[in-house]
Amino acid sequence: MLPCDTNAMNSLAELKEKALGLPKAERIVLAQSLWESVEDDELPGYTEAELRLELHARLREEPDGSWKTHDEVMAEARREFGCQK
C-alpha cells in the first residue's frame, strides 16, 4: 500500500473497524491467523549469538524450566476465551 493510496487506506480502516467489532474470541482467532500468515523472513531477525544470550538470560531467570512454550500459552488462551484455532 502506498502512503497516498487513499482507497487502500479507507479499505484497511473499514476492515479494521469491522474486525474490532467482532467478539473477543473471534478477534483472537483472527489475530492468530494474521500472525501466522507473516513469513519468517519478513520479521526482524536475531543473530544466533543474540538468541543464545537471550536463552541463557531466560535460563538464569527460570532455572527450574517452569516457563511454557508458545503453543502451550496459545492453547491456554484459546481455552480461556472459548475459541479454537
Question: For the chain, what are the domain ranges?
Answer: 23-81
Q: What is the mean pLDDT of the chain?
A: 81
Q: 78 with 84: CB under 8 angstroms?
A: yes
Residue 30: predicted pLDDT: 93
Residue 6: predicted pLDDT: 66
Amino acid letter for position 62: E
Residue 1: predicted pLDDT: 45
Residue 5: predicted pLDDT: 59
Residue 2: predicted pLDDT: 45
Q: At what angle do helices 70-81 and 24-36 cross, to 10 degrees?
A: 150
* Residues in the chain where the model's pLDDT stays below 50: 1-3
pTM, to two decimals: 0.47
Residue 4: predicted pLDDT: 53
Q: What is the CA radius of gyration of the chain?
A: 18
